[in-house]
Structure formats: structure tokens, C-alpha cells
A = this chain, B = another copy of it.
Amino acid sequence: MSQHPTGSLGTPQPPALTTLPSLRVAVLGAGTVGGEVLRLISQQGGELAHRIGGRLDVVGVAVRDLDRDRGEHVPAALLTEDAAALVREADLVIEVMGGIEPARTLLLDAMAHGASVITANKALLAQDGAALYEAADTHGVDLYFEAAVAGAIPLVRPVRESLAGDRIQRVLGIVNGTTNYILDAMTRSGASFEDALATAKELGYAEADPTADVEGHDAAAKASILASLAFHSRVRLTDVHCEGITHVSSHDIAAAARMGRTIKLLSIVERIEEENGERISARVYPALIPDHHPLAAVAEAYNAVFIEADAAGSLMFYGQGAGGSPTASAILGDVVSAARARVHGGIGPRESRYAELESIPLDELRSAFYISLTVEDRPGVLAEIAGTFSGYGISISTIHQELLEQEGEEGEPTRAHIGISTHRALESAMTASLDVFSSTATVLSIDSVLRIEGE
């Protein structure tokens, strides 16, 4: 801990606070979130000192470019390009730079030098959380990451502390604001995915390269973190089945609406009880949920997470999943916890993976499906499709057929759209049925395959 009696940010401190111990804080990254973290520390320094029993003394802010002006809350005097040196002199390291490297090396080095780490880096946690946890364990420091999942919504702490005496069965969440914004816009306006994405970019809800969001990678990283915590097992990013929303069409949205359903990108983590024990599933895909499901009403870029636990029953958490100040709020909560442990002793939660539950392959999961096909409109087609499904043990729940306008030349076959929803069926059975359809002459195209959840 530093011996300097005043905070480097020059925050005015009430006299009594100057007697409190000081904690050396390093911030890695000074983007939107970093700037907000520094603003909160600067504006609430006195209050935070009371809550911690110690003062936060920001000793440096690591950036890639020293010359950029970063506003009043990021004092130029604190900026450094030497992140490696900075993390070695800190008690607490706040990592908001993102990306795998150099974040990974810096955090491991910080912990090796005795610093506790607070990170919002979901990609790093999902890809190499084990290395971070192990370093925290080895060096007796804390690793906090509330901001990595669902921004300002307290979720990591409730899952690993409040529900520590319960048995979580299932978490169903909207944890990516960008894709929720896009799907919500498509639902409200009937826009195509491309148009809704363009609007989201204009309004700052989507990044210039939206791949991580729209392909579901961000939601999958969060699912791996949530599954690890909920099931006390190590769930890697590669264990998470991931489908994005780029193939969701305005036709799908309209078909869902006709069925009283809404399409949302869901992160689902689930405990699956089986005859000889249990396995877990973590997956991300766009799914149809009933309009009356509380997640269906989650609009714009908001996040919401449903948790089902044996004793607690159903819980829902709702709030802002991204943005500078919501994310900074989550980080500061962790900073206070890590700082209190520095001052008063004790250790924060550790990786809990005693259960070592295996992930169930997607093929062995059972889901209800919505499938949309374009077919030749001739007698026997429906019977053929139904027969294929039936052969694989898939039971149809509803069928909607729509004749398409003749587009081609005279004499070409009339075509129809068929929308089918099924009861719960094995993924492998659905895959096999779709294989059959792709070599069935009367099935002209398989337009959509979406799952139905939350029934």
C-alpha cells in the first residue's frame, strides 16, 4: 500500500479520511468504461473511502496513445504507455482494455506481483478464465468480474454468493444489448436484419465490426462464465454451442408474431438430470419465446436474466447490460469488495469447480423447433414432410402454409411456404430430418430452423 496521504486524482478528502490506509489502483484502458471508472473514483472518492475503510489512490492509467485528450476525469499526468510496469506497483488492477493480449499477460503479471484484479473482459474469462483463477489462487489475491456479464445488473455476485446455498437448474438470459436492439427493431418495424443493423450502428448500439455481437460470440462468452458459476464446473467457450442472429429474417419475426411469439437471442445454461447422473448445457441461439414471457418484453438494448433454482424458485434481474457508466458501476462494486479485503483481510470467492459436470453435446439435447421451408405446392408434399418427421420421432405441433405468387415462367410449379412448429425432439433427429429434406425434390429450400424456448 502507498504511504501517500492524498489521492493522486486530487479529490478533496474529509480530514478523518486522511488517516485511512491508501490502496494503489492501476487502470488498464481509458476508453468509455475506463473514463467512467475514473470519474466515479474521482467524484465519489470520499464516500468510497468510508465504504472501504481505505482510500483509492489511482497511480496510473495505461493507454496505447499518450497524446489523445481523454477529458477531465483522465488526468494526463497519470497516463502511461508502460502497462507492464504499472501493474507491478498496484494493489488493485482494473482491466477495461478488452481483448486477449496483452490483457492476459498483464493480469497474470499483476497477480504474480500481489495485486487483486477487477476485470470486465468476458472474452478473456471465457477463453482463459482457468489461468486467471489459478493465478489468483496461487498468489492469494482476488479476481472479480461482475462487469463481464450483463453490465450493471448484479448477476455474478448473486449467482456465486446469494445462491451459494441453492441449486441452480437453469439460467435463461438476454445478455447482449446489440442483438436485442436489432431484434427489437426488426419486431417493431418489420425491418430486415441488414437495415436494423445499419440503424443500430448509426445510433451507437452496434460497433463498426459487429461480428462478436451478431454472431453470438459475446453472448457465448457470458454463457460460459455463467455456466461455470452456476454449475461449479469449468465450462469453456468451446463447450458453448453458438448461433448468431444474422440469418433471422423479417419473415421469421412475422411468423413468430403470428404464433404469439417473439424472437430473442438467448444465452441458456441448464442442468440436465439423467438416469446416471447429470450433465450441463450452455448454448446461445435466437429462439422463439411466448409473448407473455417476461423476457419477451425486454426492449432496446436492455438485458434481463431469468434464474431457476430449486429452493429460490424463479428470479429475474433486469437492467442496462452495457454502456460506460453502468459497466463502471459494476466494476466499482467489485473494487470496493477487493479493496475491503485488502484492508480488513479475507479472500473473495474462488473458482468453484468441484462438481466437474460434463457438457452434453447439442445432438443429445431435446428442443422444440420452428422450421420454415419453401416447397412445391403439390398433393402429398405435406404428407412427405410429416412422414419424415414422424420417422425420426418428431411430433408436429402446428403447421402454417402460405401459397407464394407465381414468379417464374408459365408451367413452373407453384410454390408454398410452410412453417412448422414441433414438440420437443432430439437435435440429432431434427438434423437427420433436415438432411432428408435437403435431398427431397419437392423441398425447394430450408429457410429457417429456430428453437422454441420458455414455454
Contacts and interface: CB of A to CB of B under 8 A. Distances in A.
Minimum-distance CB pairs A-B, first 5: A346-B346, A165-B332, A154-B162, A311-B329, A152-B312
Counting chain B CB atoms within 10 Å of each CB, the highest count among A157, A310, A315, A341 belongs to A315
Contacts of A279: none
Nearest to A16: B354
Contacts of A309: 152, 329
Given A232-B50, A232-B51, A166 B333 contact: yes
Contact of A167 (B47, B158, B316): B47
A312 B326 contact: yes
Contacts of A320: 312-314
A313 B153 CA distance: 10
Contacts of A345: 345-347
Interface of A: 36, 40, 44, 47-48, 50-51, 146, 152-154, 157-158, 161-167, 232, 294, 309-320, 323, 325-326, 328-337, 340-341, 344-347, 349, 352, 354-355
A163 B329 CA distance: 7
Counting chain B CB atoms within 10 Å of each CB, the highest count among A166, A311, A349 belongs to A311
Contacts of A167: 44, 47
A326 B346 contact: no
A51 B354 CA distance: 8
A309 B232 CA distance: 31
Contacts of A334: 165
7 contacts: A51-B232, A154-B163, A165-B336, A314-B319, A315-B317, A317-B317, A345-B347
Contact of A40 (B47, B48, B311, B354): B311
A158 B317 CA distance: 11
A331 B154 CA distance: 19
B319 A318 contact: no
Given A337-B161, A341-B346, A346-B341, A328 B311 contact: yes
Given A154-B154, A157-B162, A333-B163, A352 B51 contact: yes
A347 to B, nearest CB: 5
Nearest to A164: B336
A315 to B, nearest CB: 4
A152 B313 contact: yes
B326 A313 contact: yes
A326 B311 contact: yes
A317 B341 CA distance: 27
Nearest to A317: B317
A239 to B, nearest CB: 21
A166 B313 contact: no
A271 to B, nearest CB: 12
A154 B165 contact: no
Nearest to A36: B311
Given A40-B311, A154-B154, 18 more contacts: A44-B165, A44-B167, A48-B165, A50-B354, A51-B164, A51-B354, A152-B309, A152-B313, A152-B315, A154-B163, A157-B161, A163-B333, A166-B332, A310-B329, A311-B325, A311-B332, A313-B323, A313-B326
